[in-house]
Each structure stands twice: as C-alpha cells, then as structure tokens.
C-alpha cells in the first residue's frame, strides 16, 4: 500500500470517513465534498492507481465494484436514476490516485458532463 495514498489510509482506518459498506474486496464511503445530494465512493481495498492500471486478474474485482455501485444506489433510494463515474487521469480531473467509483444521485444531471 502506498504510504501516501489517502484512500489506502481511509481503508486502513488511519483517516476517518463515513463507511457505508465494507467487504473483503471493497469499501464504500461518503464523499467529503458531495457534488450531489447522494455522493458515495466505492474503493477497492487493494490499491490500484486508476482503471487504466487494472489488469486481467482484476476482472472479478471490477465486476464487484460496478455491482456494489448499483446496489448501493438502490439502497440509497436513487429510484429516479444515478450516475456511476470513474475519473481517470488529469483531463478527467482524477485527484485521488486510488481507483474509485463515484455514485452520484438525488438531482437531475446534465450531459455531457463538464
Ligand atoms: P476524483 O476527483 O479523484 O475522481 O475524486 C476524488 C473524490 O474524493 C472527490 O470527490 C473528493 O471530494 C473526495 N475526497 C477527497 N478527500 C477526501 C477525504 O478525505 N474523505 C472523503 N470521504 N472523500 C474525499
Ligand atoms: Zn491506495
């Protein structure tokens, strides 16, 4: 685990966060600066820099990540719809370099995103 990785430190319990789901592979937390009424982040417990760094061996983990996103959105009552987002790299504004899935919902969203 990179010692300077914020999300690794949250997963390890070294930095506090509101954890809404946890299993052997994944941790889901509330985003500290929500961009929508519901804004959750699903993190693989094992550090991967970005989706671009995922390998074939991560296939099941990535499936679990998406399924957790859908399930948590349903549990949050986002019946009107929601968005699952993986920002990747500088142009997309990825600011934490530990792969994470955003779950955004609770308001209407525009397309294309900014
Ligand atoms: P990115 O821009 O990398 O796709 O998303 C990183 C997200 O992490 C942002 O939405 C940001 O608000 C969130 N974030 C940054 N620092 C913290 C923190 O210390 N705790 C939590 N819960 N979320 C954070
Ligand atoms: Zn990490």
Give the pLDDT score at 75. 98
Ligand nearest to the CA of 34: 1
Choosing from 97, 98, 100, 102, the catalytic residue is: 100
Contact 73, 22 (CB under 8 A): no
Q: How far apart are CA 102 and CA 4, in angstroms?
A: 21
Token pair, residue 45, equals 């417990």
Give the pLDDT score at 1. 72
Q: CATH assignment of 6-105?
A: 3.30.428.10
> pTM of the prediction?
0.98
Beta pairing class for 19-22 and 26-30: antiparallel
What phi and psi values does residue 69 have, to the nearest 5 degrees? -60, -45
Give the pLDDT score at 57. 98
- Alpha-carbon radius of gyration of the chain: 14
| Ligand 1 pocket mutation, candidates 17, 41, 42, 44, criterion most atoms within 8 A of CB | 41
pLDDT tens, residue order, the chain (114 aa): 787 999 999 999 999 999 999 999 999 999 999 999 999 999 999 999 999 999 999 999 999 999 999 999 999 999 999 999 999 999 999 999 999 999 999 999 999 998
Question: Coil, strand or helix: which one is 66?
Answer: helix
Cis ω before 112 (30° cut-off from 0) = yes
Give the pLDDT score at 111. 98
């Amino acid at each position: 685990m990179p010692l300077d990785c914020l999300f690794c430190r949250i997963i390890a319990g070294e930095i506090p966060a509101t954890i809404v789901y946890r299993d052997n592979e994944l941790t889901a937390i509330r985003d500290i600066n929500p961009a929508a009424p519901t804004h959750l982040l699903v993190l693989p417990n094992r550090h991967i820099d970005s989706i671009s760094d995922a390998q074939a061996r991560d296939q099941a983990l990535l499936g679990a990540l998406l399924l957790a996103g859908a399930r948590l959105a349903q549990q949050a009552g986002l019946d009107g719809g929601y968005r699952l987002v993986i920002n990747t790299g500088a142009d997309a504004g990825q600011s934490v370099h530990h792969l994470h899935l955003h779950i955004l919902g609770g308001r209407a969203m525009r397309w294309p995103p900014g």
